[in-house]
Amino acid sequence: GVYRTVGSNIQVQKLLNAFFDSKCPGDVDLNSSEWDIKTITSAMKFYLCAQYTHTHT
């Protein structure tokens, strides 16, 4: 599935930084050619894993 493949760590961090930018949070165009599906799903996995471990520790 789509969750088995991983995106570039650099691109994932860049996407997460853009998404959580304090100036305009969430203002990210995921349809941009800059973000491939691997990067988007890897960022989502990273975020969800961090949320889970944060709430269950």
pLDDT digits (tens, 9 = 90+) for 33-50: 999 999 999 999 998 888
pLDDT digits (tens, 9 = 90+) for 12-27: 999 999 998 888 877 8
Output the pTM of the full model. 0.77
pLDDT of residue 31: 93
> How would residue 56 be classed by pLDDT, with cut points 50, 70 and 90?
low
Q: Residue 16, Cβ neighbours under 10 Å: how many? A: 18
Is residue 3 scored above 80 in pLDDT? no
Which distant-in-sequence residues (6+ apart) come within 8 Å of 11 by Cβ? 35, 36, 39
Q: Residue 34, Cβ neighbours under 10 Å: how many? A: 13
- Higher-confidence residue: 50 or 55? 50
- Contact indicator for 36, 10 with CB cutoff of 8 Å: no
Greatest alpha-carbon span in the chain: 37
